[in-house]
Amino acid sequence: MNIYGQIYHQIKKAKKIVIARHVGPDPDALGSSIGLKEIILNTFKDKEVYVVGMPTSKFKFLGSLDKFNEDMYDGLLIVTDTPDFKRVDGVDIRKFKNSIKIDHHPFIEKTCALEWIDDKASSASQMVVELALKTKLKLNKEAAEKLYAGIVADTNRFMFSYTSPKTFDIVSALLRETNLDITKVYNDLYMRPYKEIKFQGYLSQNFHITENNVGYIVITPDILNEYEVDAAMAGNMINNFNHINEMLVWVTFTYDSDLKSYRTSIRSRGPIINEVATKFNGGGHIYASGARVKNEEEIQNLIRELDKVVIEYKNAETN
């Protein structure tokens, strides 16, 4: 049986299903998990299906979450968009007897009994739609909205390199088979208050750029207060700084007063950055990674490491 059949078979067999995703969820983590719940319930009306993890107010339009309780450990666990044990939000994978992973991150470690990893897929949401298209799982409009949001956000509106012919085939099928209102999805995803634009203006004016084309900015609690924005919102700004001639790699370090460390978001238009992120308590994709650094010294070390990968990249390009 192929992987789609195997996953479908496990879902069909299970009475209770718990779906989890990574901490600090983005629209793909939420879209893939909540979208999968909708699809399962749309196909099997009598199953118990829960999506767990911390809610985020910014993305509440993607749907509500369920409160986890210990009784859920006898269900089938499905983890989406999460490559390792340490980044799963709200559950201990090892306590489940049966588990499935659906993920598009580069492989880190085996966490689930059955794993479907496609690190060339644009998003975990794309994989969930693919699963539905290849099995008897039934898509509907509610699921489609969540999954489309996940695909759009993780590809940055079909711009990133893992946007492939398969992405467009899957999106095309999603639009054809459901009554999806994409304007609504774009409004939900991209409407923002004016203070966010003012804050973006501050970032635009204050990036430092190294001689090797690494752009970076340190966002202090004072700046967050002045612009009335939070660390999560500031971290999400990173994707707005692509396509700037002078920055081949760019980073935001946002001080997170709760965790007393800097939430670090890194993006690249060529050099591979996830190996550097891994050295600084982080990880992620080859061109989009995150990390956690404690102080100014670690910030400078991380910039130096990024400078090095940019130099290697440029040398390889010219040879």
Nearer to ligand AMP, 26 or 142 (CB): 26
Backbone angles phi, psi at 76, to 5 degrees: -85, 130
In the complex, residue closest to ligand AMP by CB:
290
Strand pairing of 249-256 and 214-219? parallel
Cβ proximity to ligand AMP, 98 vs 239, nearer residue: 239
Q: Report, in Å, the least distance between residue 107 CB and ligand AMP.
A: 13
Cα angle vertex 236, ends 153, 130, to 5°?
A: 20
List residues near ligand AMP by CB under 6 A.
22, 26, 87, 235, 238, 265, 281-285, 288-292
With respect to ligand AMP, which residue has the nearer C-beta, 36 or 40? Answer: 36
What's the min distance (Å) between Cβ of 287 and ligand AMP?
10
Query: Which residues contact residue 179 at a Cβ distance below 8 angstroms, ignoring those fewer than 6 apart?
Result: 141, 144
CA atoms within 13 A on the CB side of 223: 19
Q: Rounded to an integer, what distance in angstroms lies between the CA atom of residue 251 and that of residue 265? A: 6
In contact, 37 and 139? CB cutoff 8 Å: no
- Closer by beta carbon to ligand AMP, 81 or else 307: 81
Structural tokens at position 121: 């897929």
Per-residue DSSP letter, 93: G
Q: Are 105 and 124 in contact (CB under 8 A)?
A: no
**Is the Cβ of residue 215 or residue 283 nearer to ligand AMP in the bound state?**
283
